[in-house]
Amino acid sequence: MDSITHLFYGGAIAAAIAPPQHRRAALLAGAALNTLPDLDVIPLALFGDPVAQMTCHRGMTHSWFVLPFAAWAIWAFFRRRGRRVAQEPRRWFWAIMICLMAHPLIDAFTVYGTQLLWPLPMSPVMWSSLFIIDPLFTLPWLLACVVAWFALQQPFAQQALIAGIALGVSYVGWSLVAKFHVERAAQAALAQRGLQDAPRFSVPMPFNTLLWRVVAMTPDGYVEGERSLVVDRHAMQFDAHASDMQALGQAGDFSAVQRLTWFNHGFQKAEVRARQLVLSDLRMGSTPDFSFRFAVAERDAEGWREIAPQQLQWPWEARRRLPEMWWRIWNEPVVPVTAVPDPQR
């Protein structure tokens, strides 16, 4: 999730567990603790390799094999200092532990990918039911922290924290229900194309859980469709897009290609631009605007040769795309006359 959400998310969790007389300190400590795993971006910024920067983020610092030891070390350090943690060591131990462990857990609900079980050799976890920035998810955590900050030791403060946590968790639950309905509609529509078993993912569009995007891989590229849970009644419509699978296969042994393929679960588009092989991560953004594009190889007279990865930037027309997305939530596009109502509705 975004950094602002982590501040309030962590603050609410820590303040709900820590003693009431330490509530303000717990709000600040929780905000700091829940930010801590994302500080891996600082040493990663020293790398000149943008592929390493992307694929190592949410790695060791987000591992459930590492964070318990970090939580214990932080707790032991502050306990020896003899102040708040020493006064209530048990409650502070669990406040620190749960606050740190909760960070990668909520990150795993986004599509970016979180290496929860690092260093095990498995692809990052991406449950992809939340967009990385979702104001409706952030709001209950924020309000809970504000109330707790001013209410201090009053019983209402603890009630507000519990209510905020319950609402935040309920929103995650809603996102999973929404994803289930989208996946069901996508499965029915893709089956008509013979793609029912094709690798696919679904992810909410920016800032909401009402409009979703589904991508399924095909032998020569991928198909992409949208689903509004508010208005869509017909079967999902998918647009086909090409990917240069031949070039991708020829460069498949290059380290950057292998690393990206592992990280994005193979959900990528390959294209040749100015004799360079460019890989776009299909999970973030939408056609033709993707957030992460990398030039990983260059073609010469002898074929493809590996180059130092370069992250490429394409202009993203936010002023146009965001209003279009808002319109799409509330309006179903015109469907072909052959389309029939979705049998899953």
Write the pLDDT tens digit of every residue in 253-303: 999 999 999 999 999 999 999 999 999 999 999 888 899 999 999 999 889
Q: Which helix (H) or strand (E) holds 321?
A: helix 318-330
The whole-chain average pLDDT of the chain stands at 94
Of the candidates 57, 41, 53, 50, the one whose C-alpha atom is nearest the C-alpha of residue 309 is: 50
Of the candidates 189, 51, 210, the one whose C-alpha atom is nearest the C-alpha of residue 129 is: 210
| Residue 224 CB partners (closer than 8 Å, separation 6+) | 213, 214, 215, 238, 239, 241, 282, 286, 287
Tens of pLDDT, residue by residue over 162-197, are 999 999 999 999 999 999 999 999 999 999 999 999
The Cα–Cα gap between 236 and 234 comes to 6
Q: What three-state secondary structure class fits 120?
A: coil
Q: Mean of the pLDDT values across residues 12-17?
A: 98
Of the candidates 178, 198, 174, 176, the one whose C-alpha atom is nearest the C-alpha of residue 187 is: 198
DSSP letter, residue 125 = B
Whether residue 340 is predicted with pLDDT greater than 80 in this model: the reply is no
Per-residue confidence (pLDDT) for residue 315, from 0 to 100: 64
Whether residue 32 is predicted with pLDDT greater than 60 in this model: the reply is yes
CA 302 to chain centre: 39
Q: What are phi and psi of 228, to 5 degrees?
A: -95, 125
For residues 120-156, one letter each, b for 16 or more C-beta atoms within 10 angstroms of the residue's C-beta and e for the rest, the string is: eeeebbbbbbbbbebebbbbbbbbbbebbbebeeeee
For the record, the structure tokens of 26 come out as 């717990």
Q: What three-state secondary structure class fits 269?
A: strand
- Full-prediction pTM beyond 0.75? yes
The Cα–Cα gap between 257 and 51 comes to 9
The Cα–Cα gap between 58 and 65 comes to 13
Tens of pLDDT, residue by residue over 81-114, are 989 999 999 999 999 999 999 999 999 999 999 9
Residue ranges covered by each domain of the chain: 3-127, 196-330
For the record, the structure tokens of 100 come out as 């740190």
How many angstroms separate the Cα of 68 from the Cα of each of 16, 74, 256, 266? 19, 10, 31, 31
Per-residue confidence (pLDDT) for residue 342, from 0 to 100: 53
Tens of pLDDT, residue by residue over 111-148, are 999 999 999 989 999 999 999 999 999 999 999 999 99
The Cα–Cα gap between 60 and 80 comes to 27
The percentage of residues in the chain with a pLDDT greater than 70, rounded to a whole number, is 95
The residue type of 154 is: Q
pLDDT band at 318, cuts 50/70/90? low
Per-residue confidence (pLDDT) for residue 170, from 0 to 100: 98
For residues 301-333, one letter each, b for 16 or more C-beta atoms within 10 angstroms of the residue's C-beta and e for the rest, the string is: eeebeeeebeebeeeeeeeeeeeebeebbeeee
Per-residue confidence (pLDDT) for residue 152, from 0 to 100: 85
Per-residue confidence (pLDDT) for residue 47, from 0 to 100: 83
Q: What three-state secondary structure class fits 132?
A: coil
How many angstroms separate the Cα of 257 from the Cα of each of 44, 60, 306? 19, 21, 9
